[in-house]
Amino acid sequence: MKEISCKLLVVGAGPGGYVCAIRAGQLGVDTVIVEAKKPGGTCLTVGCIPSKALIHAAEEFEKIVHMAGGKGPLGISLSTPKLDLAKTVAWKDGIVGRLTGGVSSLLKKAKVKTVHGWARFRDGKTVEVETETGIQVIRAETVVIATGSVSVELPSLPFGGPVISSTEALALSKLPEKLVVVGGGYIGLELGTAFAKLGSQVSVVEAEPRILPQYDAELTRPVAKRLSELGVEVLTGAKAKGMSTKGDALLVETGDGAEKRLAADKVLVTVGRKPATEGWGLEELVLDRNGRSIHIDDQCRTSMRGVYAIGDVAGEPMLAHRAMAQGEMVAEIIAGHKRNWDKRCIPAICFTDPEVVTAGLLPDEARKTGAEIKVGQFPFSANGRAMTKLGEEGFVRVVARADNHVVLGIQAVGHGVSELSTAFGLAIEMGARLEDIAGTIHAHPTLGEGFQEAALKALGHALHI
């Protein structure tokens, strides 16, 4: 097989890689992208998109179960609902298929050559790809490493049999009667909540003192309350020790040192993700590292000339939208544009019930900057739209400097607040002050009014509370 030469080689077609390749192609850069699986990476194929599909299906099913029990206030009653999980998964797979096909079409439209197979570096300019028809050698002037991340495996709970990662959880054709989730972060709680709504008996084991430890207790309290309402058992300050001899239960050491046995058909391990740096021949490159991740500068350049790294492989925050923004930037730099990473914030969303959104600094983080701050918080219990959606749990919170009122952070917890994340990010990116948010007319009745009211509260004159 003859060698391929190109100006830009992108290794990995996840959100960062495919966006980088598409933008480079649009700018007339001769680009090749290598991907062993389907385009879209973890996020599109086995992560963000399929998990949100399952979460939506679970929400709809739980609503119907609630109505069938005659417990809802809306006056709606139904016969006993049933779940066909295999059909649900097939629907999810259909969405994924449409999106991966769309990415392939966009790459083709941008005149990007796609090579299917596993890439391995020979040096900083050359990779060899194991394709179905043999080894393909690709030489490039510039290389972008976009290999993503993989689930962290616990030594005491290796994947296999009843122990699964989020990938296997999203492909189950039969609902586990008893599911134990190891890890109370966003992945574990998103999937744990979904399976609880679908009818599984769910337990969550978290080593930290509380769930979602990256957020403050005020933000996570509504999530903990909802888990309790769904009958989810949450063990904090607890450590998973391993499976029972028969493989039908997880052995857990509780906070007081006692051992607890949690019966389980499946044990879902969601203790984090790590950069995918193994198996790519990266040892052939001289790359500085930050722990497991590849060290990059404000243009995503690595320690090797002509080699860039974007997305999860370059460390936290491991978010698809960060990878996409980096990919677009790097493509433009390679095409000769002047760009560098100057983002003020990267919004993060936890799709639990209720959802959690953060942009910028949390209150404690803002105080650590040494600045005096103002905090304004508005509850959804005083928001008309939230009431009509039975979503009165939660609030919007704005954190700003006390001297000039520049907004440093915005957070929210509540039903549907993920859709407010764009407004939050835009406000911080544009350098908004409390007066800018308070003075902007927010449509009524919407959840977004809570954003305006929180700013008014920080200024000392909230109108509806």
Residue-wise pLDDT for 216-273, tens only, equals 999 999 999 999 999 999 999 999 999 999 999 999 999 888 999 999 999 999 999 9
> For 125-181, what is each residue's pLDDT tens digit?
999 999 999 999 999 999 999 999 999 999 999 999 999 999 999 999 999 999 999
Residue 65 maps to a domain? no
Whether residues 102 and 146 share a domain: the answer is yes
31 and 169, same domain (yes or no)? no
Q: What is the pLDDT along the chain (465 residues), one digit of tens a residue?
A: 679 999 999 999 999 999 999 999 999 999 999 999 999 999 999 999 999 999 999 999 999 998 887 777 888 888 888 999 999 999 999 999 999 999 999 999 999 999 999 999 999 999 999 999 999 999 999 999 999 999 999 999 999 999 999 999 999 999 999 999 999 999 999 999 999 999 999 999 999 999 999 999 999 999 999 999 999 999 999 999 999 999 999 999 998 889 999 999 999 999 999 999 999 999 999 999 999 999 999 999 999 999 999 999 999 999 999 999 999 999 999 999 999 999 999 999 999 999 999 999 999 999 999 999 999 999 999 999 999 999 999 999 999 999 999 999 999 999 999 999 999 999 999 999 999 999 999 999 999 999 999 999 999 999 999
Q: Which of 25, 167, 169, 170 is nearest to 103 (CA)?
A: 25
CATH number of 97's domain: 3.50.50.60
Q: Is 125 part of any domain? A: yes
Q: Where are the beta strands (DSSP E) in 191-328?
A: 201-206, 233-236, 239-243, 249-253, 259-263, 266-269, 273-275, 289-290, 293-294, 307-309
Regarding whether 20 and 131 lie in a shared domain, the answer is yes
- Residue 387 belongs to a domain: yes
The residue behind tokens 């990059």 is: 296
Positions marked catalytic? 444
Residues at the binding site for NAD(+) are 183-190, 206, 272
pTM of the model: 0.95
Task: Look at residue 56 and tell me if it is in a domain.
Answer: no
pLDDT of residue 77: 82
- Rounded CA separation 54/168 (Å): 13
| 279 shares a domain with 257 | no
Which of 464, 442, 447 lies closest to 394, judged by CA?
A: 447
Domain boundary among 253, 271, 289: 271
* Domain-ending residue, one of 290, 309, 334: 334
> For residue 356, is it within any domain?
yes
Question: Which runs of E-coded beta strand occur in 245-383?
Answer: 249-253, 259-263, 266-269, 273-275, 289-290, 293-294, 307-309, 348-350, 355-360, 373-379
Assign residue 438 the CATH number of its domain.
Answer: 3.30.390.30
389 & 427 share domain: yes
In-domain check, residue 53: no
Calpha distance 356→106 (Å, rounded):
32
Are residues 427 and 358 part of one domain? yes
Q: Domains in the chain: how many in total?
A: 3
Cβ(313)–Cβ(146) below 8 Å: yes
Q: Which amino acid is at 363?
A: P
**Is 54 inside any structural domain?**
no
Do 144 and 185 fall within a single domain? no
Of 282, 308, 334, which residue sits at a domain end? 334
Same domain, 171 and 228: yes
Domain co-membership, 287 together with 360 = no
**Which segments are annotated as binding site?**
52, 147-149, 183-190, 206, 272, 312, 318-321
Domain assignment of residue 183, given as a range: 163-271
Whether residue 419 sits in one domain with residue 280: no
* b/e 161-179 (16+ beta carbons within 10 angstroms → b): ebbbbbeebbebeebbebb
How far apart CA 276 and CA 278 sit, in angstroms, is 6
Say whether both 374 and 453 belong to one domain. yes
Q: What is the pLDDT of residues 83-93, one digit of tens each?
A: 999 999 999 99
- Separation between Cα atoms, residue 169 and residue 156, nearest integer Å: 19
User: Within a domain: residue 52?
Assistant: no
Whether residue 384 sits in one domain with residue 451: yes
